Structure 1
Amino acid sequence: MSHKLFNKKEIKPLIASPFVKNISEKGITYTDEFKRIFIAEYEKGKLPRQIFEECGFDVESLGMDRMHSATKRWRSAYRRD
């Protein structure tokens, strides 16, 4: 889990994203659609940062730790299912 908290300035554009289901200062929940897009693009060889950026996310606001842990969770879930 990331220790970085979102501030109001970061939350506003994130909640407007079609790929964000919910967000609080402590965490973010992505849509299933984004997770499917992420896995498909990752399987094609794209880097996580590139996928997040191409989907309109400010990677500086998200933080590398948060993107890394999401990548691990989604890849693990994809391999299980």
Structure 2
Amino acid sequence: MGKNYFTEEQVAELNLNSNVQKVSTKAITYTEAFRQWFYQEYQGGKMPSIIFQEAGFDTNVLGKQRIQNFSKRTKNMAQR
């Protein structure tokens, strides 16, 4: 299975989201404020995909794997 790269149109759309620090065709970096908010919502029992949708992201563009990986990384960072 190959990598899920963003198209140029998707990069432009993601750049419009205030929760995005930077984005390229290969990767996306979220703001620290979004990471903290995500973790609070996640601890409150919300599903990661719902949190991303509420933050204005198209979860189909991000993909299930990116959302799951972000959730794991955020959880691990908070436990440190």
- Which bracket does the TM-score occupy, shorter chain normalised? over 0.9
Aligned identity (percent) is 35
Aligned to 1:59: 59
Structure 2 counterpart SS, 1:25: coil
Q: Which structure has more RCO (C-alpha within 8 Å, separation ≥ 6)?
A: 1
Unaligned residue ranges in structure 2 (runs of 5+): none
Unaligned residue ranges in structure 1 (runs of 5+): none
TM-score by length of 1: 0.94
Aligned length: 79
- Aligned CA RMSD, in angstroms, stands at 1.0
4+ runs of 1 displaced by more than 4 Å?
Answer: none
The amino acid across from 1:7 in the alignment is T
TM-score by length of 2: 0.95
2:24 paired with 1:19: no
